[in-house]
Amino acid sequence: QAALPLLTNAQCKQYWGFRIYDVMVCAGGDGSSSCMGDSGGPLVCQKDGAWTLVGIVSWGSATCATSVPGVYARVTELREWIDSVVAAN
């Protein structure tokens, strides 16, 4: 568990270029980041005492560098698809 800074997609593109899309959110890169083995793990944010799932670990630095942000699937953009898959199973 670690506190990670959230980046805008514009900030994230400074690290990852045009591989960043609206269905992604970036976090970390300030001494902490996701790494291999974290894939599928949650990125949560607390607001008004409640925790909300914001992202799911997707990819990042091949060397687990903590100086670059990790890339997460943006749950708000994928919610409809997630709900349809869960409902079908």
- CATH number for the domain spanning 51: value is 2.40.10.10
Please identify which residue in the block is written with the tokens 């400074």: 14
Q: How much is the mean pLDDT over the chain?
A: 95
- 19 occurs within a structural domain: yes
pLDDT category, 30, cuts 50, 70, 90?
A: confident
Range of the domain at 47: 6-88
In a domain, 1, yes or no: no
Answer yes or no: is 25 within a domain: yes
- Tell how strand 50-59 and strand 70-74 pair up: antiparallel
In total, how many domains does the chain have?
1
**Local confidence band at 2 (pLDDT 50, 70, 90 cut-offs):** confident
Taken in order 14, 47, 77, 31, the sign of the CA dihedral is positive
Per residue in 54-86, pLDDT (tens digit) is 999 999 999 999 999 999 999 999 999 999 999
Provide the terminal-to-terminal Cα distance of the chain, rounded to the nearest Å.
30
Answer whether residue 42 is part of any domain: yes
pTM of the model: 0.91
Q: Report residue 31 as tokens.
A: 């001494």
